[in-house]
Amino acid sequence: MCFKEGLIFLLVLNFTSTIGDVIVAQSDSINNDDWIKEANIRIEKFRKGDADVKLIFNDKVLVNYSVNYEMVRHLFPFGCCINFQKRRDITDEEDKIYKKLFIENFNSAVPENHMKWVHISKDLNNPDYLAGDEIVEFCKSNNIFLRGHCLTWESHYPDWVKVLNGEELKDGIKKHIQQTVKHFSGYIREWDVDNEFVHCDYVQKKLGERIVVDMHRFAEESDSKIRLFVNEYEEWNPDFRKRLIEKVKWLVKSGAKVDGIGLQSHFSKTIPGGIRNMKEYIEEIYEALKLPIKLTEFDIENPLSEEKYAEDIESFYRMAFSMPQVEGIFMWGFWEKRHWRPSAAIYRKDFSERLAAKAYRKLIFNEWWTKGNAKTDKNGEFKFRGFYGDYKIILTLPDGRTVTKVFKLTPEEKQITIYF
């Protein structure tokens, strides 16, 4: 965030968080089970489906066969920012553990820094994509969805850009955006365009606010199939929400391609205003803009206690997962030694789990994880209701082989036929 704006934000947030604690104490403790029950009903409705799976072996249905089925991956993006930064205090072994834990905890990623302009372009004609390419290869190898972050950020530009003005500055922005989108277009299908474009306006002051429309156009011209997002913080603040909504409406009316809204969700101490406030501001933004929402940079700095942080993690994820307007949740770091706010990390320096990590994993890989066993009927079919995602089944075939097959359960794919 911009330094000036960020300073004001931190001051306001500290005050708001204190008020928020009171609100939580007064409201979330009253009828607490009600919002959880309502959220769970929505989760059942929007995040699960009825699977009907038919098994065929040598052109014949498999009748009365025992099948074990289990999820292997959620369809919903549960992600985190990823950072391979080499530091003296991080050993090669720690780097390996970091990568292993990332794969075990998240199905989606977003680069923390390695694709920002200030990191990849020391001069316009020699962009350095090496660190970004390393992240792409890691995600490819592990079937991890990767968002692009970010094409521009008006508070963080390379030094050589800061001396540019007029058409020279505009041309530099255009060249950078188009080079970057094209370079990563083989894997990255979604970008934050002008990060924090409401809070940060360095280029807008130089070229006029319509330059943001041009930024979206430059990206779209480079790859018309990518999704383009705005990405902002302070979404919990009603006054800022109004500014954000108005500016996104103006952006769309001005001809910019906008496919979604990123709400960063950086908090201090606890969720501002409590969990009901979170639901209300997500609904307000969606109703005003009719664009899908991703919670893109979630963390809570200096949580009130380990126990409270675990409770807030569970509340935040349960509410967000239950809302059909939300199509992904990304933490902004998970390990203390690679976290911009170490107190917000869910894993300590020695990789031991904080209570927040246990709460997160309990939701994602236990409560929201489907597995079971069944028998096929006379039509060679078995049915179950499960969370949308990738599944594996294990069964023994008539020829004695025990085999494993994978399939997807999605809102569009519920009738599944598997051939052996």
> Residues with catalytic annotation?
196, 297
**Phi first, then psi: what are they for 395, rounded to 5°?**
-155, 165
Q: Output DSSP code: residue 115.
A: T
Task: Give pairs for 206-215: CB < 8 Å, separation 24+.
Answer: 206/165, 206/166, 206/169, 207/166, 207/169, 207/170, 210/254, 211/170, 211/173, 212/251, 212/256, 213/251, 213/254, 213/255, 213/256, 214/170, 214/173, 214/174, 215/151, 215/152, 215/173, 215/177
Closest CA to 320 of 332, 331, 308, 329: 329
CA atoms within 13 A on the CB side of 313: 29
Q: Is the peptide bond before 200 cis (omega within 30 degrees of 0)?
A: no
Q: Round to the nearest angstrom and report the end-to-end CA distance of the chain.
A: 54
* 141 sits in which H/E element: helix 130-141
**Phi first, then psi: what are they for 141, rounded to 5°?**
-65, -25
